[in-house]
Amino acid sequence: MASLQRVFGKNAAYLLIGPAAIWLALFFLFPMLSLLTTSLSDPAGNPITGYDLTWRIQNYLEALGDYWPYLLRSLLYAGIATVLCLVLGYVLAYAIAFKAGRWKTVMLVLVIAPFFTSFLVRTLSWKLILADNGWLVETLKALWILPEDGRLLATPIAVVAGLTYNFLPFMILPLYTSLEKIDPKLNEAAADLYASPFQRFAKVIWPLSLPGVVGGTLLTFIPATGDYINAELLGSPNTQMVGNKIQALFTTASDYPHASALSVILMVMIVAMVLYYVRKAGTEDLL
Amino acid sequence: MTRLGRWVGKHLMITLGLLVLLYMYIPNFIVALMSFNDASQSRNLYQFQGFTWDNWLNPCDPLGMCESLRVSISIGLAATLVSTIIGTLAAFALVRHRFEGRSTMNLVLFLPMATPEIVMGSSLLALFVAAGFGGQLGFWTILIAHIMFCISFVVVTVRSRLGGLDSNLEKAAMDLYADEWQTFWRITFPLVFPGILAAALLAFSLSFDDFIITNFTSGQTVTFPMFVWGAAQRGVPMQVNVIGTLMFLVALGAVIGGEVMSRRRARGRVRAAS
């Protein structure tokens, strides 16, 4: 790389970063701008001829007025799924980081391996697990956990379970990276000073793993909020999330302006929540 | 009490951890099982009817499935190649150079990872339509989109490998009269290569598995996830489970093979040194 520096002088860095910068500008930043202008266009157009930019702010009010329950539902489902992922993911990441010994690498590979099977195929298999006459529903009914006419498929439980399952690895990997850096001697030192296992966790392990907790919850919450696959395959019309609505407005209704407005609202909501959360957690260096 | 506490502390977490791992594998077990399902007699495709080898023997039976697989693999390979090159160059720039706009670039690279796929997909569609390409969505628009969302992940993966590199190795090579290119190709590149390989693998799996962004940019082109999605409305052919299981086995084989090979090479190097 130093020879590049000699030939091109100070511009070497720009030659290297150039292609990535141009690609992301053209196909990430520019589309965002396009989304913004579409969201302010007159809905009385169609995708083939395009839409006229009339600075129609009403699109936002209409989208918000019509679809706010979907937005709330998305935040609720994604929030519950994120908490469940945090609990399950913390247990597994902790076990790999501190208890797996020489099996550490094997277990890490095992965490990632299931995800080479297409995620749509895996999500569809939950349909079978949660099916009305499946063994899970029958067992829960036998244990009186589920009422006689109860079901799992097409309920919010199924959607949240699907989200939790699908985004769990996004939680585990950052948690593991954080936990793995903690010196086990700190834990031993706390034990020598008569800290109970609970105190050791609350005062030593948990605070030191916070960067992983913040990273993991963001990587889980953001994609889960925008997801519509789980709601579509495992849910019912009553469990649709904002992603379902955006997708339907774009593809079946061809109402691009309102769909774009809803997309922008979702994006702004997520950015606002992420910024607030990161500031609150005090890990701004994450960005 | 303390002995019990210690036992719990020692084994409880690993037991719970293995249970979580088991939970993550339930769908894969089901997919593997259903790949042997004899669904020829019944329309209920979400129940195991009977054992058969047929699905494995005739994986391409369902109309259009193998064609969609070919589309996905071509797009995956092309997206991997381009995004790995672009992303690796960018990672070198970010780790090895100080330049104006560096922090802006870091932010721009972070954003695609923090944006919900549905927003990226819909914004690309809005752009293509606004630019008058609404009627020409297909292979190329999917490829453009896939390269876009792979770049950030490649940069992050290569950057972490490059950042952990001991720059003294390069200085030592220069002290031994290697020129810059020799140093780069003999020292830097081989050391960074595992990171580039991991990035390429990640890029391929992201591209191959993507549904949401592809759905917005595909037009009439059908990738494998699009095929599964379309089939899910009518009932998924059992051969989909064969492909799912096969992908899992190939990927696992590649990871294990790579690990064994790197260990053997490391052992060979130790032997050569002694």
Among A14, A24, A47, beta carbon nearest to B99: A14
Q: Is B108 in a helix, a strand, or coil?
A: helix
Among A13, A17, A114, beta carbon nearest to B25: A114
Q: Which residues from A are below 8 Å from B151, CB to CB? A: 20, 23-24
Per the listing, tokens 């780790």 go with B95
Q: How confident is the model at residue A7 (pLDDT cuts 50, 70, 90)?
A: low
The residue in chain A having the minimum alpha-carbon distance to the alpha carbon of residue B207 is A118
Most confident of A39-53, B109-123, B248-262: B109-123
Lowest mean pLDDT among A115-119, A187-191, B78-82, B198-202: A115-119
Q: Say if residue B267's pLDDT is above 80.
A: no
- Which CATH class for the A60-286 domain? mainly alpha
Instruction: Note the pTM of the prediction, 2 decimals.
Output: 0.86
Looking at residue A287, its pLDDT comes to 42
Distance in angstroms (rounded) separating the CA atoms of residues B157 and B194: 10
Position with higher pLDDT, A80 vs A210: A80
The residue in chain B having the minimum alpha-carbon distance to the alpha carbon of residue A166 is B24
**End-to-end distance of chain B based on CA atoms, in angstroms?**
52
**DSSP H/E element including B257:** helix B239-273
Q: Say if residue B155's pLDDT is above 90.
A: yes
Task: Find the angle CA(B99)-CA(B101)-CA(B105) to the nearest 5 degrees.
Answer: 110
Q: Are A156 and B67 in contact (CB under 8 A)?
A: no
Q: Which residues from B are below 8 Å from A6, CB to CB? A: 180
The residue in chain B having the minimum alpha-carbon distance to the alpha carbon of residue A26 is B148
Among A residues 237-266, those touching chain B with beta carbons less than 8 Å apart:
243, 246-247, 250-251, 256, 259-260, 263, 266
Q: Where are the domains of chain A?
A: 60-286
Rounded percentage of chain A residues whose pLDDT exceeds 70: 94
Looking at residue A286, its pLDDT comes to 47
Distance in angstroms (rounded) separating the CA atoms of residues A260 and B141: 19
Could you say which DSSP state residue A46 is in? Answer: B
Among A48, A131, A169, beta carbon nearest to B46: A131
Q: How confident is the model at residue B214 (pLDDT cuts 50, 70, 90)?
A: very high
Contact B126 A100 (CB under 8 A): no
Among A48, A225, A266, beta carbon nearest to B134: A48
Q: Which of B65, B72, B119 to mutate to test the interface with A (most CBs of A within 10 A)?
A: B119
Looking at residue B46, its pLDDT comes to 66
User: pLDDT tens digit string along A216-245?
Assistant: 998 899 999 999 999 988 988 888 999 999
Among A residues 52-71, those touching chain B with beta carbons less than 8 Å apart:
none
Contact A34 B87 (CB under 8 A): no
Q: Say if residue A186's pLDDT is above 60.
A: yes
Contact A116 B250 (CB under 8 A): yes
Contact of A111 with chain B, judged by CB distance below 8 Å, is answered with yes
Q: Which of B4, B15, B24, B28 to mutate to test the interface with A (most CBs of A within 10 A)?
A: B24
User: pLDDT tens digit string along B71-95?
Assistant: 999 999 999 999 999 999 999 888 8
Contact A28 B120 (CB under 8 A): yes
Distance in angstroms (rounded) separating the CA atoms of residues B19 and A48: 52
Q: CB-based burial of residue A285 (10 Å sphere; 0-12 exposed, 13-18 middle, 19+ buried)?
A: exposed
Q: Which residues from B are below 8 Å from A176, CB to CB? A: none
Q: Which residues from B are below 8 Å from A121, CB to CB? A: 31, 228, 236, 240-241, 243-244
Among A23, A37, A169, beta carbon nearest to B147: A23
ipTM of this complex? 0.85
Q: Is B37 in a helix, a strand, or coil?
A: strand
Looking at residue A159, its pLDDT comes to 94
| Phi, psi at A36, each rounded to 5° | -65, -45
Q: What is the DSSP string of A82-95?
A: HHHHHHHHHHHHHI
Could you say which DSSP state residue B51 is in? Answer: B
Please check whether the domain covering B63-236 is classified as CATH 1.10.10.10.
no
Contact of A186 with chain B, judged by CB distance below 8 Å, is answered with no
Q: Say if residue A78's pLDDT is above 80.
A: yes
Distance in angstroms (rounded) separating the CA atoms of residues B23 and B269: 40
